[in-house]
Amino acid sequence: MSFIKKYIEQETITRRNLLLASAYGVGGAAISSMLGGMARAAITDPTVAWSYRNRTNPYWNEIVSGGEAFVESLGKPKDFLTHLINEGSSEKSLADVKALLSKTNGELALAIDTNDAPNARPVVESCVEAGAYVSTLWNKTDDLHPWDFGDNYVSHMSWSDEGPAEQTARILLDAMGGSGGVVHLGGIASNNPAIERLAGLNNALKDYPNAELLAAEPADWDTQKANQVMSAFLTRYGDDIKGVHCANDTIAYGVLEALRAEGIEDMPIVSYDGNPQAVELVGEGKILATVFTNPHWGGGITAALAYYAATGHFKPSEEPNEHREFYGPTIMVRPEDAQAFKAEYLDSVPTYDWKDFWSTSNGQIQYK
Amino acid sequence: MSNVLTRDVLIKWAPLIVLLVLVLFFTMMEPRFFSLRNFARIGISSAPALMVAIGVTFIIIMGSIDLSMEGTVSVCAVVFAFAFIALGGTLASWAWLAIPLALLVGGAIGFVNGLVHVLLKIPSFMASLAMGFVGTGFALLLTGGDRIRVEDDLFRSLLTERWFGFPIMCYVALLFLLIAWFIQSRTTLGRNFYAVGGGEELAHASGLNVNRVRIMGFALAGIFYAVGALLAVGRIGIAETATGSNFMFVSITSVVVGGTALWGGIGGVWNTLIGVLIVNVINNGMVVIGLPGYVQDGVLGILVIAAVVLSTDRKSVTFVK
């Protein structure tokens, strides 16, 4: 049977060579076009694109609406913004970016969440090679920095959720009178924000010796799953549950409905994200606090940074590091200021100055 | 002969036995599992899934598969919520018309699904998967990514009002289960599903219009998806593009775990009821006994395989595709 084995091996090698050769060919062609790209000082009219998961999630919907508001501020129609939708696939994310780079010949201002951290490097490197300008949001590895890539990797913005989640946890624990059982319903277990938000709760609990974390389960940012997990918590812990710490608003909705099914109306709950519906619920006192990260602004400013760097409005390499890697803004929403907050941010979307990049930043990103 | 009989009987009742063993197991691990309130909670999480699973049961009996449920559920939920709010926002007004409208939309999507499958001769697997994506996309187009709240107390009494400890939505689900049972056992259409699933060529040769049965089956499934969508909206008071998420896995798993064979002709809606309960008992029980989150998915997968092995007669299967 060895001749079969040999044949398969041979075929594998031939195919691998073919793949390598074709990859080299494409790469070579790309590099030659890039050399032209690199020499370019500024692009007069770059394509503006946002690459993200999808619009089903209200958070990403807000992000993209910010991107659209930004292109409208340029006097362009909404659909001037190119949407690259990765549907949660890093491979698709990278492939789409490469396709758009060759279509636009590198004349691109790209805002992107690369879906997961490791994917940020190949995306950034492709953009830099093509002479395009890229700004990233949320995901990148700790060893990847904009200042290592000259002007083309413009910026990275993220949020540290541990601090704000700790604040909401303190509000929750105070509302519980500092004692009793807490349950936490988290995001997808491996997601960074999910980890940080649970860590925030644990930090707060250290100062409340009479309070206890009964359980922390992932609810995958999903209303229906949160509903089921909360129901099961009620079976397991019953009246021992005195407060609920939710990793985001969509989870809180499911928790509220699970409690409503049992006729429980006054359970202290805190959440995160500041979606319009959650802010309403905060106003009604059904949620004690949520944290607004202004995704609309985040989506707009990420695109704006890439665009204005591409057009030469500012030179990223001349900016300090705290302007290249920074934390986005956070606003705590409590029942007493929910109305004012809603009027300012939600009833009518504020018109932002898309050249004011850093005034609301929470400082340079710190690595542990 | 008597041996064969006991074996048959055993296989027939295996899913129920699996369910009882699971209930016993979780009760032993955590006595609080065995309480009326917890059964009501399992009932609430099962009701929408049961409707969707019943829909796909008909298709699987025919030996086809329907993967369009997530898109169909989302579209029906969103159309229902928009119509409900536009027509008055409470069941006490003309807004009740949103309910038949949602059923109609579900049936229509299923009908188109069936047409695509039969007329274009695309395998049901591919046709329905594609239609599901179309549905999700359409729901997104309608909502623009927003979520619509359905706050009417009368509609929400599906969840909040309880008879004998169980919310109304459980009884609604039971009613539709009985309707499905009636269709399956007392109508020509129901019997034709089995004829097609048991041997399509034979059914065709006997003069049965197989294509018509298939299209009707998909339309019927669509109507049941719409009922599932209504209950899902009733459960959380929100209609959105994500309303349909996860229904594909839960419903197909439930049907198979309940003992309905993927190759068609065997099983029925009562099997599906048991299957849905098995999956939801597992989901609820794992949290109740405090299994860590990262173990749960793995355990669910293993339990599903175990349940399928126990509840289907694998000796009668010559090959698995």
Query: What DSSP element (H or E) covers A183?
Result: strand A180-186
Per-residue pLDDT, B3:
57
Residue B284 pLDDT > 50, yes or no? yes
Per-residue pLDDT, A40:
58
Q: For residue A35, is it within any domain? A: no
Main-chain phi, psi angles of A102, to 5 degrees: -75, -30
* Domain end call among A241, A276, A292: A292
| A194 lies in the same domain as A120 | no
Per-residue CA distances from A246 to A218, A290, A339, B182 (Å): 10, 9, 22, 44
Token pair for A176: 């519980």
- Picking from A288, A278, A285, the residue whose alpha carbon sits closest to that of residue A346 is A278
The per-type count for chain B, helices as H runs and strands as E runs, is: 13, 4
Per-residue pLDDT, B6:
73
Q: Which residues of A touch B240 (CB under 8 A)?
A: 56
User: Cβ of A53 under 8 Å from any chain B Cβ?
Assistant: no
The string over B24-34, giving b where at least 16 C-beta atoms fall within 10 Å of a residue's C-beta and e elsewhere, is eebbeeeebbe
Mean pLDDT of all residues in B90-113? 95
The DSSP letter of residue B62 is T
CB pairs under 8 A between A and B: 93
| A258 lies in the same domain as A168 | yes
User: Cβ of B232 under 8 Å from any chain A Cβ?
Assistant: yes
User: Cβ of A240 under 8 Å from any chain B Cβ?
Assistant: no
The DSSP letter of residue A184 is E
* Domain end call among A236, A271, A292: A292
Please check whether residue A246 is in contact with residue A270, taking contact to mean a CB–CB distance below 8 angstroms: yes
Mean pLDDT of all residues in A250-256? 95
Are B159 and A261 inside 8 Å of each other by CB? yes
Q: Give the C-alpha separation, B172 to A368, whole Å.
A: 54
* Proportion of chain A in helix, strand, coil states, percent, rounded to 5: 50, 15, 30
**Spatial CB neighbours of B249, under 8 Å, sequence gap ≥ 6:** none
Please check whether residue B310 is in contact with residue B257, taking contact to mean a CB–CB distance below 8 angstroms: no
Q: For residue A54, is it within any domain? A: yes
Token pair for A59: 């958070």
| A64 lies in the same domain as A145 | yes
Pick the range with the lowest mean pLDDT from A18-22, A208-212, B244-248. Answer: A18-22
Q: Give the C-alpha separation, B311 to B167, whole Å.
A: 30
ipTM, two decimals: 0.82
| A178 lies in the same domain as A285 | yes
Are B241 and A56 inside 8 Å of each other by CB? yes
Please check whether residue B277 is in contact with residue B269, taking contact to mean a CB–CB distance below 8 angstroms: no
Are A222 and B146 inside 8 Å of each other by CB? no
Dihedral sign for Cα A301, A305, A306, A311, please.
positive
| A116 lies in the same domain as A191 | no
Q: Which residues of A touch B144 (CB under 8 A)?
A: 55, 61
Instruction: List, as ranges, residues 262-291 from B with C-beta within 8 Å of A.
Output: 283-284, 287-290
Pick the range with the lowest mean pLDDT from A32-41, B93-102, B298-307. Answer: A32-41
Q: Give the C-alpha separation, A70 to A48, whole Å.
A: 10
**Spatial CB neighbours of B306, under 8 Å, sequence gap ≥ 6:** B18
Label the pairing between strands A180-186 and A153-158: unpaired
| A191 lies in the same domain as A147 | no
Are A57 and B149 inside 8 Å of each other by CB? no
Q: What is the pLDDT of residues B14-35, one digit of tens each?
A: 889 889 999 999 999 999 999 9
User: Cβ of A137 under 8 Å from any chain B Cβ?
Assistant: no
Q: Which residue has the tokens 């890093």?
A: A90
User: Cβ of A334 under 8 Å from any chain B Cβ?
Assistant: no
Residue A144 pLDDT > 60, yes or no? yes
Main-chain phi, psi angles of A107, to 5 degrees: -85, 75
Are A61 and B146 inside 8 Å of each other by CB? yes
| Strand spans (E) along chain B | 148-149, 162-163, 166-167, 238-239
Token pair for A367: 């690595």
Please check whether residue A280 is in contact with residue B238, taking contact to mean a CB–CB distance below 8 angstroms: no
Q: For residue A212, is it within any domain? A: yes
Please check whether residue A128 is in contact with residue A152, taking contact to mean a CB–CB distance below 8 angstroms: yes
| A166 lies in the same domain as A285 | yes
Q: Give the C-alpha separation, B249 to B49, whole Å.
A: 10
Burial zone of B144 (CB within 10 Å; 0-12 exposed, 13-18 middle, 19+ buried): exposed
| A166 lies in the same domain as A288 | yes
Provide the terminal-to-terminal Cα distance of chain A, rounded to the nearest Å: 55
| A174 lies in the same domain as A189 | yes
For A223, which of B33, B236, B287 is closest by C-beta distance?
Answer: B236
Burial zone of B122 (CB within 10 Å; 0-12 exposed, 13-18 middle, 19+ buried): middle
Average pLDDT, chain A: 88
Residue B2 pLDDT > 80, yes or no? no
Label the pairing between strands A108-112 and A133-137: parallel
Instruction: List, as ranges, residues 251-270 from A with C-beta within 8 Å of B.
Output: 253-254, 257, 260-263
| Least Cα separation, residue A99 to chain B (angstroms) | 23
User: Cβ of B32 under 8 Å from any chain A Cβ?
Assistant: yes
Where does residue B93 fall: left (phi above 0), alpha (psi -120 to 50 degrees), or beta otherwise?
Answer: beta
At residue A140, the 3 state secondary structure works out as coil
Banded pLDDT at B320 (limits 50, 70, 90): low
| A110 lies in the same domain as A152 | yes
Q: Which residue has the tokens 């607004």?
A: A292
Mean pLDDT of all residues in A75-86? 94
Q: What is the pLDDT of residues B159-172, one digit of tens each?
A: 999 999 999 999 99
User: Cβ of B45 under 8 Å from any chain A Cβ?
Assistant: yes
Label the pairing between strands A269-270 and A153-158: unpaired
For A223, which of B238, B288, B290 is closest by C-beta distance?
Answer: B238
Cα B94 to chain centroid, rounded? 29
Residue B277 pLDDT > 80, yes or no? yes
Token pair for A166: 């700790």
Query: What DSSP element (H or E) covers A229?
Result: helix A223-237
User: Cβ of A277 under 8 Å from any chain B Cβ?
Assistant: yes
Q: Which residues of A touch B245 (CB under 8 A)?
A: 222, 224
| A204 lies in the same domain as A284 | yes
Q: For residue A56, is it within any domain? A: yes
User: Cβ of B33 under 8 Å from any chain A Cβ?
Assistant: yes
Q: What is the domain range of residue A247?
A: 162-292
Q: For residue A349, is it within any domain? A: no
Residue A130 pLDDT > 60, yes or no? yes
Number of domains, chain A: 2
* Proportion of chain B in helix, strand, coil states, percent, rounded to 5: 80, 0, 20
Residue B55: CB atoms within 10 Å: 34
Q: For residue A235, is it within any domain? A: yes
Q: Which residues of B touch A262 (CB under 8 A)?
A: 37
Percent pLDDT > 70 in chain B is 94
CATH number at residue A71: 3.40.50.2300
Where does residue A88 fall: left (phi above 0), alpha (psi -120 to 50 degrees), or beta otherwise?
Answer: left
* Domain end call among A240, A271, A292: A292
Per-residue pLDDT, A11:
59
At residue A50, the 3 state secondary structure works out as strand
| A98 lies in the same domain as A199 | no
Please check whether residue A139 is in contact with residue A71, taking contact to mean a CB–CB distance below 8 angstroms: no
Main-chain phi, psi angles of B230, to 5 degrees: -60, -45
Q: Which residues of A touch B236 (CB under 8 A)?
A: 223-224, 227, 253-254, 257
Domains, chain B: 47-312 (1.10.3470)
Query: DSSP labels for A213-224?
Result: EEEEEE-TT-HH
Q: For residue A24, is it within any domain? A: no
Pick the range with the lowest mean pLDDT from A122-131, B98-107, B260-269. Answer: B260-269
- Picking from A288, A304, A274, the residue whose alpha carbon sits closest to that of residue A336 is A288
Per-residue CA distances from A161 to A215, A247, A293, B296, B314 (Å): 20, 10, 10, 26, 51
At residue A348, the 3 state secondary structure works out as coil
Provide the terminal-to-terminal Cα distance of chain B, rounded to the nearest Å: 30
